[in-house]
């Protein structure tokens, strides 16, 4: 019983902590330059809202009353759950690092801002979308702490949606905004994880572009 209370409190700290850090920086960014969700595709908005509601409500339900989520519990070794607590708490300073690095350029949509700047320092030196990376890490940790397969399933669905739907749209917007500068940035960084190999584009004698990979 004491362990379960510890897990509930840990999830609450992670959930509220990450939300408070993110909310603080997003509020400042909106004051600097608001961006309307009305310009975003309806399918993107609806999909994001539906997944977020199912995932966040399940986490909130577990915090308030774990018995409400017993139907989707599964066996997770106690040591794994404690390790997940550590990983989830580690996500909090990482969220702060990401948010302080991107500053007013944080966008709540896939769209760029009029005064958007290309950020390549901090975690963005290695990964183009570290906020998604940290968020996925945090949600996997919470799912393991709660020992809940529904949370894990929704996290997997959200991760697939981010990688296959959200990121391509964001990347297209950034390429449109920054052009060749962003292409170069893409070549040397990973989307969600650091790139082990970097691209080197060359033009052969026929004027055709070739690409080779070089280990960093």
- Residue 202 burial by Cβ neighbours in a 10 Å radius (0-12, 13-18, 19+): exposed
Which residues, in sequence order, are CB contacts of 83 under 8 Å at separation 6+? none
CATH topology of domain 2-184: 1.20.120
Q: What is the pLDDT of residue 13?
A: 97
Which region holds residue 107: left if phi is over 0, alpha if psi is between -120 and 50, else beta? beta
- Residue showing tokens 């040397």: 188
Residues facing residue 198 across a β-bridge: 214
pLDDT in tens, 22-67: 999 999 988 887 766 666 677 777 777 888 899 999 999 999 999 9
Write a three-state SS string for 125-140: HCECCHHHHHHHHHHH
pLDDT digits 0-9 by tens, 156-209? 999 999 999 899 999 999 999 999 999 999 999 999 999 875 555 454 444 444
Residue 112 has pLDDT above 90, yes or no: no
Considering 73-87, 98-112, 186-200, the range whose residues carry the highest mean pLDDT is: 73-87
pLDDT class for 5, splitting at 50, 70, 90? very high
On whether the CB atoms of residues 187 and 201 are closer than 8 A, the answer is yes
Q: What is the pLDDT of residue 35?
A: 67
Which residues are CB-contacts of 166 (< 8 A; sequence separation ≥ 6)?
Answer: 44, 48, 110, 132
Distance CA 91, CA 139 (A): 10
| Strand, coil or helix: 186 | helix
Using the predicted structure, report yes or no on whether residue 216 has a pLDDT greater than 60. Answer: no
**Confidence band, pLDDT 50/70/90 cuts, at residue 212:** low
Structure tokens at 46: 């609806």
């Amino acid at each position: 019983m004491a362990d379960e209370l510890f897990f509930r409190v840990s999830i609450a700290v992670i959930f509220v902590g990450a939300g408070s850090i993110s909310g603080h920086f997003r509020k400042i960014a909106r004051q600097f330059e608001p961006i309307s969700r009305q310009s975003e595709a309806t399918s993107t908005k609806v999909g994001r809202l539906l997944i977020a509601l199912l995932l966040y409500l399940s986490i909130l339900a577990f915090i308030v009353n774990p018995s409400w989520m017993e139907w989707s519990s599964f066996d997770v070794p106690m040591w794994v759950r404690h390790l997940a607590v550590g990983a989830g708490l580690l996500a909090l300073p990482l969220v702060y690092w990401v948010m302080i690095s991107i500053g007013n350029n944080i966008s709540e949509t896939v769209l760029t801002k009029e005064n958007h700047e290309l950020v390549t320092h901090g975690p963005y030196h290695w990964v183009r979308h570290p906020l998604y990376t940290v968020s996925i890490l945090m949600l996997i940790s919470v799912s393991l702490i709660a020992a809940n397969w529904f949370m894990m399933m929704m996290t997997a669905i959200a991760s697939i949606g981010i990688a296959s739907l959200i990121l391509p749209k964001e990347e297209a917007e950034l390429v449109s905004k920054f052009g060749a500068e962003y292409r170069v940035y893409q070549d040397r960084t990973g989307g969600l994880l650091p790139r082990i190999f970097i691209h080197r584009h060359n033009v052969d004698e026929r004027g055709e572009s070739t690409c080779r990979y070089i280990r960093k």
